[in-house]
Chains A and B, each alone.
Chain A
Amino acid sequence: MSVSDAERQVEAAKRQAVAHEAATEAAAREAALEAADTPVRRRIPELAGLLDTGAGRNLGLVAVLGVLCVIGIATADTFATTANLLTILTSASIIGVLTVGVTMVIIGGGIDLSVGKVMALASVWSTTVATQSYGPVVMVACALAVGAGAGLVNGVLVAYGRIVPFIVTLAMLISAQGLAEQISGKRSQIVTDPAIAAIASTRLLGIPLLVYIFALVVAVGWVVLNRTTFGRRTFAIGGNPEAARLAGLDVRRHTVLLYVVSGLCCGIAAVMITSLTTTGSSTHGTLYELDAIAAVIIGGTLLSGGRGTLIGSILGVLVFTTITNLFVLNNLATEVQNIAKGAIIVAAVLFQSRAQRNSP
């Protein structure tokens, strides 16, 4: 009975979506007619002005996400089910947490290539036989400490060692991988503690705990970036480090803190992936850093720093996860999926740079 209920809901949602599409199309046609009357030059800055604001750029991504959903509904019956939407959110949660840290580092003028393997290292370190013997609390604390510690090393080398962040974090990526392999002897470490496994299996109000953790990290990240002195200084340092320095900000200390925050996100993600797979493994998180950076880029954050939104990055993560989901549901090869992802990155950046050039 409940199954058919769900189906009816899906049907309704579909009809609504179609109606909405039609309405938007009509509005667009109207706007186009109006635009034909008014001088084009006057309208472009308006559009660019809208795109220039963080909200406007996010609207573009929301539209992309909407199109993807429409494609999903049209091609796969199972797409618009609660179970599938939760699958999308759950699989977005781990990369999503990493992306929060990466977004902050990039807005602050740096880059963090090491997140995937720092997460793997934290998962391995927190699941050694020795660590597991102290129980779940110590395991979680260990994962967080390892992540933050790796971030601290990154930050100190960038800020005080004056090495380019790309190189520092690339080196960290490689050595974290090596250390994780050495500690684990390249074997998967099975988690025996039921409390850790319970993190991924617990549901509150039907929604997995992992999704709550993801949402919480995003919320905290958003507040820190947009409401605190820390966030404000992050934008300042990324936008013009020399001006920030001459205004009396402690740029180096702040830079260290940014990498520690990113490392801490790796620690949180490590707990999540360890729980989800009930293993600690050096193979976790391979190429996650690239997915995270790609999400940040299509989310409209400037790779050079100083401008960007966390919400954009999260929408970017959701776009990528939804694409993966669509391909899986339709039994399409992952190769094609990666080609599509690459095309989306290029399209998003082209679009943004156009919008930027048109803005005054």
Chain B
Amino acid sequence: MTSASTSGTLLRMRGIVKQFPGVRALDGVDLDVVAGEVHCLLGQNGAGKSTLIKVLAGAHRPDAGELEWDGRRVSFSSPHDADVAGIATIHQELDLVPGLSVAENVVLGHEPARLGFTRPAGAERTARALLRRLGHPEIPAGREVGRLPAAGQQVVSLARALSRNARLIVMDEPSAVLDSEEVDNLFRVVRELTESGVAVVYISHRLEEIRRIGDRVTVLKDGRTVARNLPARTTPTAEIIRLMTGRNVEYALPERGPTPTGEVVLEVDRLGRKGEFSDVSFTVRAGEIVGLAGLVGSGRSEILETIYGARKASAGSVRVRGRALRGGSVPAAVRAGLGLCPEERKSQALLLAEPVYRNVSLPVLSRFARAGFVRTDIERRDAAVATGQLDVRPADPMRAVRTLSGGNQQKVVLARWLLTGCSVLLLDEPTRGVDVGARGEIYALVRELARQGVAVVLVSSDVPEVLGLADRVLVVREGRVVHQAPGGELDEARVLDLVMEGSRG
């Protein structure tokens, strides 16, 4: 009995730790996967799921902890090692080559060849056999992958994993891009795989799916395993949500002030964008913080970017202080007093090689110019005042932004909008990649800006953050606002219940 169960344990992880500069992404993760099971990994955004998958796939080397594969201690130093061992990962962004055919993608990296010449017929035969096994003989092996629908691409990814005789397949939110019929088909394939002894690690935010397909559940929170090997079908939802939430808040959220009663600054009216979100309406008063809670891909960031004009709305309108904002124009939005701290700080907001002061002054450069000539002394002085108010450290405006920590980089972006004197501040994941200490500071800053009369819209995957900061919370799911309530009247479990309802709704 004992020997049977040990021989069945395919993967054993103990005390895995992974440290990134400023963040301990994994802080003691345990995971056991048995051959032939669907093992579900649950946790909120930032709980460490993605990092854990990358450790499994050999993309990250853990700083501490043990990894046992098939009864032997191993350490993967590259994705190739994991591949050879028989671990395949299907990432959220599918890692297929869109310009190659289905067959070429399936055999990529181990193409059947003789004397260095590929054998396309052999590749097509392999691909066709695998597609048939996966129940999709209708996918043409010669078709370019980029021209397949999302579900088809997912099947190709699976076929690729199988072509390497993978014994463990990690699926990172595979259902996010699928409709319900395609999900049914995916589940059928997963069941067939597990019946043949392949283990699947399944990540999803949709509890309903986990109940249908999962065998056991491991819950992560703040980089740690908080519960291991729970039965997927019978563990009560309340219990799972309790495990995922109830974090020890290590940072102080500032005290909430009285309900803001300033004039309405931002009016969003039935705003929509084809295929992303629709019928979003809300208003924000001066001094008010409105939070949008939702999962990645729920449309929150898209709503924010559309308000800002970085995306063009296909329906509805945005008004600032009663005046309609021209759609699809960021310069018009900035002139009207909007500011955005985008989701991806490094790629969307900062000039990393440039000094702090140039990053701060970018939107209002012409203010420091006479006849087109920049008066650098004034520019530097005013930028230093703004970064000084936000306590950017080190307090050196000449320093290249890339040498700053995540928290201080975020403050540089905030300083930019402080300098423009914007009246509407749109914050997208303002504390992502920011360490605990700087988080508290950023919360205090956002509150302070609101107190000074700025209207704030906050998007975050961190539910306690939204609940703690926002005066009013809008819950977004699949491109729609499904619930609206004052921040004080919601709790984390209720919000999670709303955002994760998924296919149950």
Where the two chains meet, the residues of A that have a C-beta atom closer than 8 Å to any C-beta of B are 227-230, 232-233, 235-236, 239-240, 242-250, 306-307, 360
Is B92 an interface residue, CB under 8 A from the partner?
no
Task: List 26 A-B pairs, Cβ < 8 Å.
Answer: A227-B373, A227-B374, A228-B369, A228-B373, A229-B374, A230-B372, A232-B358, A235-B351, A236-B354, A236-B362, A240-B347, A240-B350, A240-B351, A240-B352, A242-B347, A242-B348, A244-B351, A246-B308, A246-B330, A246-B342, A247-B416, A248-B330, A248-B331, A248-B335, A249-B331, A360-B403
Taking A246-B310, A250-B331 as contacts, is the C-beta distance between A306 and B351 under 8 angstroms? Answer: yes
Task: List chain B residues, Cβ under 8 A from A242.
Answer: 347-348
* Least CB distance, B416 to chain A, in whole angstroms: 7
* Least CB distance, A304 to chain B, in whole angstroms: 11
Contact present for A233 and B351 (CB under 8 Å): no
Task: List chain A residues, Cβ under 8 A from B362.
Answer: 236, 243-244, 247, 249
> In the complex, what residue of chain A is closest to B362 when comparing beta carbons?
A247
Contact present for A247 and B363 (CB under 8 Å): yes
* Least CB distance, B180 to chain A, in whole angstroms: 35
Interface centre among A232, A247, A250 (most CB of B within 10 A): A247
Interface centre among B350, B358, B365 (most CB of A within 10 A): B365
Task: List chain A residues, Cβ under 8 A from B334.
Answer: 247-248
Contact present for A245 and B330 (CB under 8 Å): yes
Task: List chain A residues, Cβ under 8 A from B363.
Answer: 247-249
Contact present for A243 and B347 (CB under 8 Å): yes
6 nearest A-B residue pairs (beta carbon): A248-B334, A247-B362, A247-B363, A248-B363, A228-B372, A229-B369
Where the two chains meet, the residues of B that have a C-beta atom closer than 8 Å to any C-beta of A are 308, 310, 330-331, 333-335, 340, 342, 347-354, 358, 362-363, 365-366, 369, 372-374, 403, 416
* Least CB distance, B260 to chain A, in whole angstroms: 26
Task: List chain B residues, Cβ under 8 A from A232.
Answer: 358, 365, 374
* Least CB distance, B26 to chain A, in whole angstroms: 26
- A243 contact from B308, B348, B366, B403, Cβ within 8 A: B348
Give A235 to B354 CA distance when docked, in angstroms: 9
* Least CB distance, B194 to chain A, in whole angstroms: 42
Task: List chain A residues, Cβ under 8 A from B308.
Answer: 246
> In the complex, what residue of chain B is closest to A243 when comparing beta carbons?
B349
Task: List chain A residues, Cβ under 8 A from B333.
Answer: 248
Give A335 to B330 CA distance when docked, in angstroms: 52
> In the complex, what residue of chain A is closest to B376 when comparing beta carbons?
A227
Task: List chain B residues, Cβ under 8 A from A250.
Answer: 331
* Least CB distance, B47 to chain A, in whole angstroms: 28
Task: List chain B residues, Cβ under 8 A from A240.
Answer: 347, 350-352
Contact present for A229 and B330 (CB under 8 Å): no
- A245 contact from B310, B350, B352, B403, Cβ within 8 A: B310
Give A247 to B348 CA distance when docked, in angstroms: 9
